[in-house]
Amino acid sequence: GAVVDEEAARRAAAPLYAEGDEVAWSDGDVVARNVTRLGAVELTVRPLRQAAPGLVREALREGLRREGFGLLRWDRDAEDLRRRLAFLRRHLGEPWPEVSDEGLHARVDDWLEPELSKARRRADLARIDAGQALKRLLPWASGDARHFEALAPERIEVPSGSRVRVNYADPEQPVLAVKVQEMFGLDETPRVAGVPVLVHLLSPAGRPAAVTADLVSFWRDGYRAVRADLRGRYPKHPWPEDPATAEPTRRTNPRH
């Protein structure tokens, strides 16, 4: 057969020959390489020390798309903030932000900068405080952000004086879990952004004794059964016959 010299072979293969930097999210982290290829065949691969920032950022975004925003650092306050925003979005709409994964991906430039552009690898993402970053999505420009605490309070003060944390896990209806005795005397259901909270009334041991979104009708119709059930088990706690007018308390009955 004919002998093909190397030069001719190189010329023929030139359209297939490529060399360049490749930065991707692979096996759970950013992988940066300089690759020489002939068609689909990798001829040489060298690790890249200094990859272009734009390529690194795109790889990190791909990581967030694939593995989710759990790659960032979320504490309880950050998770609460996201849930409170989801609640307001659900009930009030604009200008409250969409904080589903899809919504957060769409607005990554608005809330995850400059941290995302400074990050180089997975470990850097894990240092980003998601709660601080999310605050950038509050509607500051319209002035609505200043009403956030009033519309979706982290805690509600109940008649006993306790400030009880509101659970926004279900954006349809927040939950307030509180001991029955602390709610005595309250003649209307607490509301957040106009939505009645679902009150989980707890026994003195902290176990749910009743659930209601209408405190008035509970005092009238449901309380009697709860009182009958729990009074014998917790005699040190007050179980008045008329809870709607009784004195709320965090304490047990005074000792005589």
Q: Which of 134, 154, 137 is nearest to 94 (CA)?
A: 137
| Dist. CA 58–CA 105, nearest whole Å | 12
Is the pLDDT score of 1 beyond 80? no
Q: Which of 188, 196, 192, 163 is nearest to 178 (CA)?
A: 163
Tell me the whole-structure pTM to 2 decimals: 0.85
- CA dist 140 → 100, 104, 135, 232, 251 (Å): 20, 17, 9, 53, 42
Is the pLDDT score of 256 beyond 50? no
Decide: 18 and 37 in contact? Cβ < 8 Å.
yes
Could you check whether the bond before residue 196 is cis, i.e. omega within 30 degrees of 0? Answer: no
Mean pLDDT of the chain: 94
* Residue 17: band (very low, low, confident or very high) from pLDDT cuts 50, 70, 90: confident
Q: List CB contacts of 78: < 8 A, sequence separation 6 or more.
A: 129, 130, 131, 134
Length of the chain: 256
pLDDT at 13: 76
pLDDT at 146: 97
Could you check whether the bond before residue 95 is cis, i.e. omega within 30 degrees of 0? Answer: yes
200-208: average pLDDT: 96
* Residue 87: band (very low, low, confident or very high) from pLDDT cuts 50, 70, 90: very high
| Dist. CA 71–CA 26, nearest whole Å | 14
pLDDT at 12: 79
pLDDT at 141: 94
* Residue 164: band (very low, low, confident or very high) from pLDDT cuts 50, 70, 90: very high
> In this prediction, what percent of the chain has a pLDDT beyond 70?
97
63-92: average pLDDT: 98
Among 47-56, 154-163, 179-188, 245-254, the range scoring the smallest mean pLDDT is 245-254
3-state secondary structure the chain: CCCCCHHHHHHHHHHHEEEEEEEEEECCEEEEEEEEEECCEEEEEEECCCCCHHHHHHHHHHHHHHHCHHHCECCHHHHHHHHHHHHHHHHHCCCCCCCCHHHHHHCHHHHCCCHHHHCCCHHHHCCCEHHHHHHHHCCCCCCHHHHHHHHCCCEEECCCCCEEEEECCCCCCCEEEEEHHHHCCCCCCCEECCEECEEEEECCCCCEEEEECCHHHHHHHHHHHHHHHHCCCCCCCCCCCCCCCCCCCCCCCCCC
| Dist. CA 78–CA 118, nearest whole Å | 21
Q: What pLDDT digit, counting tens, does each position of 103-132 carry?
A: 999 999 999 999 999 999 999 999 999 999
